[in-house]
């Protein structure tokens, strides 16, 4: 019985530690802006093409999370680069970051509040 309890305990701790490592890193507008200006990072906009056309962050790449090809598109990206991900309000980008972490990406950051927070902070948006 003690062995069974110990086995269950070890399995629980292992699962907890693995999940803790995959926590989404939410950044403020200021943190996101500073980090996204670093050389070599990739800014991903996971909104729809229609949303992207209404305004997007400079140098961002569109990768629509609602497309069936989203997961396959992620597989083509360099997992060693840093990715700064945003959407309209932060929900879809948070999901995208979780998926990326599960796929083995190490440096992935979510813009808390999305482009709406970016605009509210009066940051530059391109059309």
Catalytic residue among 87, 96, 111, 117: 87
| Coil/strand/helix, residue 86 | strand
Sheet containing strand 107-111, strands side by side: 25-27, 107-111, 82-86, 42-45, 60-62
Would you call 17 a catalytic residue per the annotation?
Answer: no
Q: How many Cα atoms are found within 13 Å in the side-chain-facing hemisphere of 58?
A: 6
Which 8-state DSSP code applies to residue 81? S
Contact between residue 44 and residue 63 where contact means Cβ atoms under 8 Å apart: yes
Contact between residue 117 and residue 47 where contact means Cβ atoms under 8 Å apart: no
Active site residues: 87
């Amino acid at each position: 019985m003690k062995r069974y309890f110990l086995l269950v305990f070890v399995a629980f701790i292992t699962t907890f530690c693995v999940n803790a490592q995959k926590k989404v890193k939410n950044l403020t507008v200021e943190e996101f802006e500073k980090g996204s200006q670093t050389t070599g990072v990739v800014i991903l906009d996971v909104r729809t093409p229609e949303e992207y056309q209404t305004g997007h962050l400079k140098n961002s790449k569109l990768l629509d999370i609602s497309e069936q090809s989203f997961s396959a598109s992620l597989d083509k990206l360099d997992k060693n680069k840093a990715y700064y991900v945003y959407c309209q309000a932060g929900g879809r980008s948070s999901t995208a970051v979780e998926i990326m972490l599960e796929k083995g990406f190490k440096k992935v950051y979510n813009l808390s509040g999305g482009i709406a927070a970016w605009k509210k902070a009066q940051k530059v948006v391109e059309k």
